[in-house]
Structure 1
Amino acid sequence: MEWPVATERGTADELARTLREAILRLNRRVRQTRAVGDLTFSQLSALTSLQLHGALTPRELADVERVQPPTMTKIVGKLEDRGLVARTPHPTDGRQVILAPTEQGRTMYAQFEQVRNEWLAEQLAALSPDERDVLARAAQIMQQVAQA
């Protein structure tokens, strides 16, 4: 499929719709792969953020996840109840705590990563080297857009 160059607003809007649809479908397909435990998508996302960004305060984690602090409090509570995340006192601010994955949380994250990557890696292996190069570049751009 040939994609239009996004030089006009209409083309950018069309590309945005097409890209959003592709992301949603791919995300749904990856999420349909074998589940690891019974964590919700939000819980897995928070655990992933802690694994990738390191220890964070609840507020920092809410900011990374782009949710309100009360929502993150509920998510973290569920992760703590499962023994996947631990709170420790903040080293310089006695009013704050630091959240970090426990050993069990790191293990759960590793299992989750392996499971969700297996299916996608199989699909990518079926593509041509040129198609994989295009996707690699697109992934970099999508990361930039997601962090904007």
Structure 2
Amino acid sequence: MGEQVSAAQLAVSLRDAITRLNRRVRQARPVGDLTVTQLSALTSLQLAGALTPRELSEIERVQPPTMTKIVAKLEERGLVRRTPHPTDGRQVILSATESGREVLAAFERIRDEWLASRLDALSPDQRDTLRQAAEILQQVSRA
């Protein structure tokens, strides 16, 4: 059996591995397409359904003027639509368009293909270990 590690040591190692894997998965995208920031904002809109620009700024942790530029680029490409706020005439609601949802699906497909190709190079035992780890990570994330 392997050497025992403390929860604190495991936390550092696991956080580092997850961060690095997340970075590599995020890099698996079509060259010259959306920026990481634009993709993140579009993903947030897709997940939320619809948000005000301020809500989107808060979720993405960027200043409102920065989000205005991001949304303008997404709107220019037909990936985001603005609709009037139902109760506040000074506000708008942002949502992903059908094209925006299709772009996100394509990005997910590319990322899944990249990760699947890396997993395919592993042994069946290693893939089974990762399957178990994925279940545990799901459990940890719900706690």
Offset of residue 24 of structure 1: 3.3
Per-residue CA deviation, residues 69-109 of structure 1 (Å, 9 max, x unaligned), is: 22211211111111110100011111111001112111111
Whole-Å separation in 2 of the counterparts to 1:16 and 1:75: 34
**Kept after mapping to 1: 8 A contact 2:29/2:107:** no
Deviations 1:34-88 (A, max 9, x none): 4165110000011111111111111111122222222211211111111110100
Task: Determine if the alignment matches structure 1 residue 84 to structure 2 residue 83.
Answer: no
Number of equivalenced pairs: 138
Partner of 2:53: 58
Contact persistence 1:36–1:111 (CA under 8 A): no
Using the TM superposition, give the Cα deviation of residue 23 of structure 1 relative to its aligned residue in structure 2, in angstroms.
3.0
Q: TM-score, normalised by structure 1?
A: 0.77
Aligned residues: percent identity?
A: 64
Q: Is the 8 A contact 1:36 1:112 kept in 2?
A: no
Q: Secondary structure at the match of 1:73?
A: helix
| Aligned position for 1:49 | 44
Of 13, 25, 30, which aligns to 1:35? Answer: 30
Structure 1: distance between partners of 2:93 and 2:3: 48
Aligned to 1:135: 134
Q: Distance in 1 between matches of 2:80 and 2:3?
A: 45
Q: Tell me the C-alpha RMSD between the 2 structures.
A: 2.5
CA 26–99 in structure 1, closer or farther in 2 if over 3 Å, else same: same
Contact 1:36/1:108 (8 A) holds in 2:
no
| Post-superposition offset of 1:17 | 4.0
Q: Which amino acid aligns with 2:20?
A: R
